[in-house]
Structure formats: structure tokens, C-alpha cells
Structure 1
Amino acid sequence: MIGVLGAGAFGTALAVALGRAGREVRLWARDAAQVEDMRRTRRNDLALPGVDLPDAVSVHAEIGETTGGEALLLAVPMQALGSLLSSHPEIGEAQPLVACCKGVDLNSLRGPVALIRDRRPGAVAAILTGPSFAADIARGLPTALTLAATDRGAALQDLLSTPTLRLYRTDDIVGAELGGALKNVIAIAAGVVIGSGLGDSARAALMTRGYAEMLRLSAALGARPETLAGLSGLGDLVLTCTSTQSRNFRYGQALGRGEGFDPWVTVEGIATARAVLRLAEGRGIDMPVTAMVDALASGRIALDDAVARLMSRPLKQE
């Protein structure tokens, strides 16, 4: 049995993909009314419209009913992961805990695996990350992800892979965490570029300079550059900077157009930009794209000023 905590789009999509492949999956949703609706309709139209839940997937309102299996997937937003672990002691250490979120915790400045290890020091901790949209996974479209783990990685890779969901393994947890976190920040900036009408050439330049920022910080924190060049870094960056399926990209587009954005939609890159800047400043690392995103998102700078600052940076060797 595989437990999935979090019935948002990504958690539901993983449950669907695994259930379709014949795994028994127990999916937890925090809202009891949502649980009842999903049990009745066998769908999660709130988060993933039009996708039927396979018979192998059951829906639960109690976390204790999802634990004790072969793995527990933590598919909640990054900024909710710490409180989930603190509030639910029934999330034990017997099974591997696999983070399925991207970002840096604002309070501790830790990534998801480090947060799990802090709260559950005896558990096997891993992260599942990479270029993917929930709708694609749920529809059975070919998707490749990175599974970062230092213990039981091969067993988890076999357990969580399906005919359409291929997992590639690494032991560079820091690199996988940072690639997934930082690309969300750059995706917001890419959305700003397109939303404000600066064009695709400007987006390509922005992505390239943003990737350089990702490499600088990741190297300072001990990540391997080849990890950032893989699925969890460059692959995820390309996807989220070029598709309106990305919440972070859509949020950036709205900023660029001067429009509002649905406050109920989770945009991980906003908090990540703030946390990453604190990490970078403590190490003397220059991250102008990240700083621009944080300033725009917090309303400390106008769009025209942000673009002007980036375009007026000193000319230098690439």
C-alpha cells in the first residue's frame, strides 16, 4: 500500500497513476466534505477535473488510515509541510516519507527532505521532483521525474514508477531540492516577461540568466552541477517557464499585465524567492532575478522599475 497525503492536483494525479498501475493507494484529503464528494463521484473535480479515480484508490479523512504502507507521499504545499509533520504524530517513521513539493521553508530555510529529517529523524526521507504537470500524469502522458534519496532509493524507484511515469534516481538531495525550488522563482520572472510584452527573446535571456543564479546558489550549498542540468533542474525550468499550465508562470503573467491573481491558487515561487534571498545574502551570492521577483511580488517595486534595473546591470563577460 502507498499512502498519499494531499488531495490537490499533484497528489491526486500521483494516486491515479499509481492506482492505474495496480498499486493500492490510500489518498488523504484534509476536508471531510471533499472526501465524501470524492467517494461518491470517484473524481476530484475541485483539483483535477474530469479524471476518474481507479478502483485501487481509496479516499480517507484520517491520516492514520494511510500510514504504515510501503511509502507515504507528502503532496502538500512546501509552506504547509512543517505544520503537517508537527500536527500529525501518526505520520510515523516506519515507512519512507517522500516529499512531493518544491520550495524552501520560510521559517527554517530548509528544503523538504531536511524538514522531514528534522521532524522525523528516524525515517527514510526522499523527494520526488522534476518536470511534470498533474494533468499530464493523470492522463497517462509520458512523464519523467527525479527521485532523490540516499537510502532505499532503488526500492522506491521500482515502487513508484509506472509504464508512463519514469523515475530516475539520484543521491544528490540538495541539488534535486534546489532545482525544483528555484525554477519556480524563475518561472514567475518568465511570466512577467511575457505578460508585459517583452517577447520570447527576452524570455530566453531571462531563463538563461536565471539558470546561472540557480547554479550559483546550488553550488554554494553543496549540490552537484550535473543534477541542476538534469530533470529536476533544467528540465523543470524549461517546462515551467514556457507553459501556462504552470501556476508560477501564470502568476508572473498576471504581474506583467498588471492584473490580479486568484489568491486561492498556491504559487510556491513567491515564498521561495523570499527564503532564497535570505540564503543567498548570508553567503554573498548575487541573485538579481530572484530579487526582482521578490520585490514585485511584495509590491516594493513597480514593473517598469524592475525591468529597468535588470536591463541596466553592468555589461560583463558571460
Structure 2
Amino acid sequence: MGGRDLNHIGVIGGGAWGTALAASAVRAGRRVTLWALEAEVVQAVNESHENPLYLPGVALDSALRATGDMAEAAAADAILLVCPAQHMRAVSAQVVDAGADAPLVICAKGIEQKTLQLMSDVLGDTAPGMDMAILSGPTFAAELAKNLPTAVTLAARDDGLARSLIDALGHNRFRPYQSHDVIGAQIGGAVKNVLAIASGIVAGARLGDNAAAALITRGLAEIMRLGAALGARRETLMGLSGLGDLVLTCGSIQSRNMSLGKALGEGRTLAEVMGERRSIAEGVYTASGVAALAARHDIDMPICAAMDRVLNHGAAVGDEIEGLLSRPFKVETV
């Protein structure tokens, strides 16, 4: 695909991240149509220029149009898929069925539980032959929505597609960096959500800053091992969509995954915390997929495995902490 003008951007998903990306694309000078499942989100964006359900307190440009009609949003020059990872298969199929004939940009982070597929593989099933890219990096939706500086990785195998998307979406407060590594751009974003829950547990259990730094460092080693097995480039995993995203998500209670882990570390149950939330902590669902991939490829990922046992198999947080701290001493290698 050669370079082309992408003037109309469709954003599929009216949550915090989808709304923030839509607001950013308006700032870049694009015409933007935001599709939202909830009728109250569509009404609020169009009439009061806000999304109080997912981004309270953030004013949106009146040029941003929201719709509940998938075909309207799919009739765009490029389409950002900003749905939860476990819904990517169904949502992308709906987009294709609605007549989409434009590049699809994956903005979800995760591994499909049932198939252990990355989101690019899911789109390979639901949108075969369509142009595809990955947008991932260290991003809190509220900060981008408020026009604070943000940098991301924009990965596509086609140079022309990547450049066209960067020209369409980039501006001085939203800086996409080009990559060819579609696999690597997805692995960091998926695994860091699992590690962020572990980081939150460290904070909630008051294990200290030393433990927090150790967890991030050893967590990065786990990301690197999985990346090597799946064909990712090391430089990608050390970049914005890898190390950058890991540091952000493990270092701030703004992170939905870290805040969930903090509640677990303080002694609350997963059911209690999940029952209070409208937004999704992707790491809960990705943990089982990461653990299964590690087992399939015979990769040692002890932190992710511990999180899978806590989140999906009823293991006690205290027992898993002691188990990790009791592992044999070893040489520090990735």
C-alpha cells in the first residue's frame, strides 16, 4: 500500500481510550466518527461534548461526532479498533460486515483466551487480506484526552501504511514512532497488564520500593523471553510499547491493572473489586493466555504464572508472594 490521505477516522469503542484517541485525532485535523455501544455515551458526546461515563471532567471538541451505527463509523479512511481484547473477534467481524474497506488499527492490548492468539492473528481470521497496523505504548487515556504529551509505537509491515497513519494521527502532543515489528508491539502491551497487577499487589502488601523495582526488572525479562519465542525484536520490547508501557503501568495507581492488584494486596477479593468497576482490567483475562503460551513454548515466566494462579485458580496472594521469594538463586539473564 502506498501513502494516501486518511482524512476520515473511525474509532470503534466509546470507552476512555477510544474517546481519548478520537479527541486526539480531531486535534490532528481529521474528521472523526466515534462508535459507542452505549446510547448515553453517543448522546453525551454529541450534545454536551463530554463522556461522563468513561472520561468524566474532560471537555471534548464539538467537531467530534459519535454514533451508534457501525456502518457510519466503518465508512472511514482508517478505523481504530479500541474494544477490549476479548471482544476483538466479534467487534472486528461486525466492522467488516458493516462494509469496512479501510486499514484497521488495533488499539487493544491482550491475548485471546480461547485461542491464545495475538490481536493481529484474530484480525487475520476476521478480516483476511485487509491492511492492518498496531498502535500501542505508554498511555493513560485521561492524559491524552487532556492533550498532555504522549508517544506511542505505530507498527505496520507496510511502510506506506505506517507513514499515512502517522501523518493522519500525529501532532505535537501525540507522537507515533514507526516500527515494522507487529508482533513485538503487541507482546509488551499484553504482558505488562499482567505484571501491573503483580506490581499493584506489591504496593498493596507494602513490600517496598525495592520489591517494586525488582518486579519491573524481572517482569521485563519475562516479556523478553516470550518475545523471543514468538519472533519479536528486542529493540521493540525495550521501546515505547515494551519497557515504556511496563514502567507506566507498573508505576501509577492510574493504571486499572495496578489499582486492582493493589486492592488484592490489601486483602480484598477479586470478585469484590471487579464488581465495583465498569472499566476492564485487561490483565485479569490476559493472565491465563500468557501462562498458557509460556507453557506451550517452555518459557519460565514465574511472575505471570503466579498471577494466573491468583486470578484464575483461587491461589492465595500471600502464598504466591512467598513462592516467588523462595525460588532458587540464579544468574541474572533474560
TM-score (norm 1): 0.97
Q: Secondary structure at the match of 1:316?
A: coil
Q: SS in structure 1 opposite 2:154? A: strand
Q: Measure how far apart 1:288 and its partner are.
A: 0.6
CA offsets per residue over residues 74-110 of structure 1, 9 Å max, x none?
A: 0111011111123444344521000111010112211
Alignment of 1:225-304 (within 5 A): 225-259=234-268, 260-261=272-273, 262-304=276-318
Q: Which residue pairs with 1:309 in the alignment?
A: 323
Q: Distance between the aligned counterparts of 1:91 and 1:182, measured in 2?
A: 32
Q: C-alpha deviations, 1:101-127, integer Å up to 9, x for none?
A: 101011221111221122111210111
8 A Cα contact 2:71 2:99, kept in partner? no
The answer to whether the Cα contact below 8 Å between 1:16 and 1:53 also exists between their aligned partners in 2 is yes
Which consecutive residues of structure 2, in runs of 5 or more, have no partner in the other structure?
1-7
Would you say 1:82 and 2:96 are equivalent positions?
Answer: no
Alignment gaps of 5+ in structure 1: none
Distance 1:93 1:2 in 2: 12
SS of 1:11 mapped into structure 2? helix
1:191 alignment counterpart: 200
* Correspondent of 1:4 among 7, 11, 15: 11
Structure 1 position 23, deviation (Å): 1.1
| Residues 1:100 and 2:107 are matched in the alignment | yes
> What does the per-residue CA deviation read over 1:146-204, in whole Å, with 9 as the maximum and x for residues that have no partner?
00111211111111112200000101010000011011111110100110010111010
* Structure 1 counterpart of 2:4: none
Tell me if structure 2 keeps the 8 A contact 1:93–1:123.
Answer: no
**Contact between 2:103 and 2:131, CA under 8 Å: does it hold in 1?**
yes
Match of residue 228 from structure 2 = 219
Partner of 2:63: 56
> By how many angstroms is 1:37 displaced?
2.9
1:35 equivalent among 28, 39, 42: 42
- The RMSD of aligned alpha carbons is 1.3
Contact 1:188/1:248, CA 8 A, preserved across alignment: yes
Q: How does 1:131-142 map to 2 (within 5 A)?
A: 131-142=138-149
Partner of 1:210: 219
Aligned residues: 318
- Normalised by the length of structure 2, the TM-score is 0.92
Q: Matched residue of 1:277: which SS?
A: helix
**What's the % identity of the aligned pairs?**
47
Q: Does the 8 Å contact 1:17/1:138 carry over to 2?
A: yes
Is contact 1:10–1:134 with CA below 8 Å preserved after alignment?
yes
CA contact (8 A) 1:100 1:127 kept: yes
SS, match of residue 146 in structure 1 = strand
Using a 3 Å threshold, how does the CA distance of structure 1 residues 91 and 131 change in structure 2: closer, same or farther?
A: farther
Paired amino acid for 2:29 = G
* CA shift for structure 1 position 316: 1.1
- Equivalent AA in structure 1 for residue 195 of structure 2: I
Secondary structure (helix, strand or coil) at the match of 1:51 reads coil
Partner deviation per Cα, 1:19-63 (whole Å, 9 max, x = no partner): 123211000111223312332211101111122221321010101
Q: Report the alpha carbon displacement of residue 223 of structure 1 after superposing the two structures with TM.
A: 0.4
Other structure's SS at 2:147 match: coil
1:202-250 deviation per Cα after TM superposition (whole angstroms, max 9, x unaligned): 0101111111010001101100111000000000000000001100000
